[in-house]
A and B are shown apart, each in its own frame.
Chain A
Amino acid sequence: MSIVVGYIPSPEGEAALERAIKESTARQARLIVVNSSKGDQLVDDRLIDAKQHHDLEARLTESGVDFWIQRQTQGIDAADQILQVAEAQRAELIVIGLRKRTPMGKFIMGSVAQRVLLQAGCPVLSLKATNDW
């Protein structure tokens, strides 16, 4: 069994990763970290570079879970990428970070998280960067 987590280097991403590590330790499941960029921007800070990849690896090794990092530099968008990996791995849980967004912001920007929530075939755990209450 495995757990898929969508990771980007941001507070939301960090929160999701932390929680995913906890979950996979508790469930003895394999952790698959997905980081991707559609590759249609010249500059994309959400994609981890070699150094961040290395740090991430060190951190996961230290936590003692069985893990796999899937880093996609170009092609499909993040939601499709997460769903694809989750389906291929028959994931028991998907963990994603959410940003607070107003309905208007959602309308304009679209949402990766919404698509994952609606289309996933397994439970999805979504969380904010901080626990506000």
Chain B
Amino acid sequence: MSSNKKYWKSVEELDQNSSVVETLKQNEFVQEIPTDEFLGDKASLESSSTTRRDFLKYVGFSTAAASLAACEGPVIKSIPYVVQPEEIIPGVANYYATTIADGFDFASVLVKTREGRPIKIENNTMAATNGSANARVNASVLGLYDSLRVKKPMKGDAEISWEQFDAETNQALTDAMNSGKEIVLFTQTFASPSTSRLIADFKAKYGNVRHVQYDAVSESAALDAFQAKYGERGLADYDFSKAMTIVSVGADFLGDWQGGGFDSAYAKKRIPDHGKMSRHIQFESNMSLSGANADKRVPVTPTQQKMVLAKLYAEVVGGSVSVDLPENILQAVTKTASELKSAKGKAVVVTGLNDINAQTVALEINEYLNSEAFNTASPIKTRQGSDKAVSTLVSDMKAGKVGAIIMSGVNPLYTLPNAADFAEGLKNTKVSIAFSMKADETSTNCTYIAAAPHYLESWGDVEMKKGHYALMQPTIRPLFDTRQFQDALLKWSGSDVSYHDYVKDTWNSSILNGGSFNQALHDGVFVSNVSIDVVEEATTEEDTAEAPSTNAARALASSAKAGSGLELTLYSKTGMGDGQQANNPWLQEFPDPISRVSWDNYLTVSKADADKLGLKNVHVATGALDGSYADVTVNGTTLKNVPVLIQPGQANGSVGLSFGYGRKAGLKDEMKTGVNAYQLYSDFNNIQSVTVAAAAGMHEFACVQLHNTLMGRGDIIKETTLEIFNTYDKEDHKHGWNKIPVVSLNHEETPVTSPDVDLWDEFDRSIGHHFNLSIDLNACTGCGACVIACHAENNVPVVGKEEVRRSRDMHWLRIDRYYSSEDSFEGDNEKKDNISGLGSSLSEFGEMENPSENPQVAFQPVMCQHCNHAPCETVCPVAATSHGRQGQNHMAYNRCVGTRYCANNCPYKVRRFNWFLYSQNDEFDYHMNDDLGRMVLNPDVVVRSRGVMEKCSMCIQMTQKTVLDAKRDGREVRKDEFQTACSAACSSGAMIFGDINNKESKVAHLKEDDRAYHLLEHIGTKPNVVYQTKVRNTTEA
């Protein structure tokens, strides 16, 4: 049916004379399409003899040729050793005990090597001190394969040889000595007996030598306080497994407080045993790991912390102080004091205030309490730095008093608050030598960069705490032409022994006391009751140490005066620490346990303060988190455009900012994230008075958890109080704290465990192994070592900030962190249960999305739950995921076609999809994109390609290996021999893996424990991961 109607496309067509209309009649577009831009110019197109048909022929031919060529297999070369080392069998891992001592992290570890390549760090269970690797130590193996390492000694920008380096530096040092100027050794804390001895030798040779030790994150006040009280430079050791009442005033002792490593002992007493567990009270400003784990957390500003501590002292020890604290805090302090008094020797008080009086007060309280957890006889040696000495050095350098400076393990131009002064000082110093693995901020400004080896390529020793020694040994031949600081010192001292022999000599002569060096090297650790006093410098230390006031508590209280602005607490993040490993993509992508933000640091602000200052956190359309920028000013130093994160639990009137970010030199562009908080670290005080002003623009965060509350769904994280736990049965009608969920069957409530309500028939799994993983929510501190261990073991790719922001993070194991919306999770549950009617549900569910001002916090590691009745398995159209008899949910990557049905059907959201090819792809320029970085890959686990789903395999490569070892030896698998990467990395005992068919195993008992429950049990997936109900000790003594 034809029509005469004319349809106008635009008003333009009404104009008969419009040239546009005329042109459009002839051409589709008004303007010429700029074909020249992508096809080349017209002339060259016309001159080409290739017709369209020819072109199509070429395309067809090349496509066919390419696809035919793809059918040809590549020729793979295999190159065996010429002389195979005796201890290496290709395909079999070797383990070496060694020690990391990078000035911030000190730990005795085992290094797994394959064909001579270190590929993973594991805990050294033989170590009595610091035998557990935290997230950073776990990730440190990747630093060995950093493609940006300095490969040869350098002078300025030019690579030189070690011969030239030796000749020139020897001359320079001699010149410095002759000129009467000082030679300064500016180093990290080595805590190494051999290095101390060596430096003494060096001093003997050159005379006018000063050794300044520097900790980027200072513990100087605690050291000074300890030294003043006990006459020895060290830190009091705490064994939290001996404490039943733990009070922390601003000390994140589960984080990096005083060197860290206290968490495993702490976790021991957190598991209710015969109705008893420790009680932990935390007064703090920033929400820290310790605060998150505390039974009672009181948010206080740093100034109030001082008052709290002084008041505690007054209440416990005696004396009077006048403090100005709000009523509720005062009450909390009084209660805490009475708890401390009643616990007596079972109580301990720690503080993180970098204030000599505060530290002295803490020591005095512990001494008064006669705390069993408190040990001053064998102090911790892993922090030695002195703020005063560093300040003196900087001014001396500026004054030109220093002739030569040799640095090792420090990066002052990045970490010093007064970096500009140091830079000026460097200019006034004739020769500067930096032993560094990187061309970083400092080393690039030095005369020479002495290419230093990674700790996995070095020899060394560490005195972790008095009498507790550890050895460092190379686990790989140096990758580059490097030399360690100590070897250079030996050369300069005119000695021709290697540092290896030197260490051996030190140990044989003064540490081992007749023991075998090889045995110590094998164990990696040695505990001696003979303490050696290395007299390196007794005199200099004394005059650098400060002395506390005679009445520390009163002094502390009187010093507690709030400034006008907000109070900033600088802290170190679990992932980044002091920032040495900023070029480590694993750590950059590691989500902070508290904020769950990766690839950034940020100013943590309380909700109330944020509203006052006009700072916002919003979720954009993709769900990703955006935050306002703020300018932060301390004493006239302004840090511009600091991203702001609203942190529940942040004390009003305080803000927090972490160290370790904002590095600019010696790292890939992708890793140049965050802002440098060291600029605000004036006087090495982690507490600063700041002014915060909102700045324009919004920052894009890469936050992996976008929903922060549990919404009253108490079956995700089951928790109860110690009182209820001790009093009532778990199935108690009213107070039951771990009831089996019920579902309706024929209108009758039937427990979900009943076979009647199951869709599937149960298989018999009683034969052979049946693996289960138990996760104790009480012992888990959220430290994240398991996340990195999983990364390393399973070749999990790093996807980068943009992809994390799109929720495409690949972590097989995540640690969910939940905040309560009410004061406690209990309150959330009640609120949800009391909701009735549409109106109330709309408003109250809305409220429940917002965390409380001072929320309870719970951590929950979640990985594939390996459901016996797995929802993912039934929806896979190609049967790429299936169940094994041993309980593992298998994933055959080569079979997967990437429909992602499984991920959609997984109630735990643990499946990860490879949106891209993450290895050998320039778009993802992380370790898997260079030959060096790929050396860290575990050869037993395949690197997944684009378009396939992946997930936790319950480390099937490890269970298979354990089984094979047993088969080869012709024996049964030993009790608790099975491990996964996460359970092996967990030093707090939160993760226990094993075979439940072996009734003797720990996990078999844990599965039957009263506290045991499954995640989302009511959906009947029958997971093989079992959680232990969290119990909080809310009993106020």
Tell whether A pairs with B.
Answer: no
Enumerate chain A interface residues (CB-CB to B < 8 A).
Answer: none
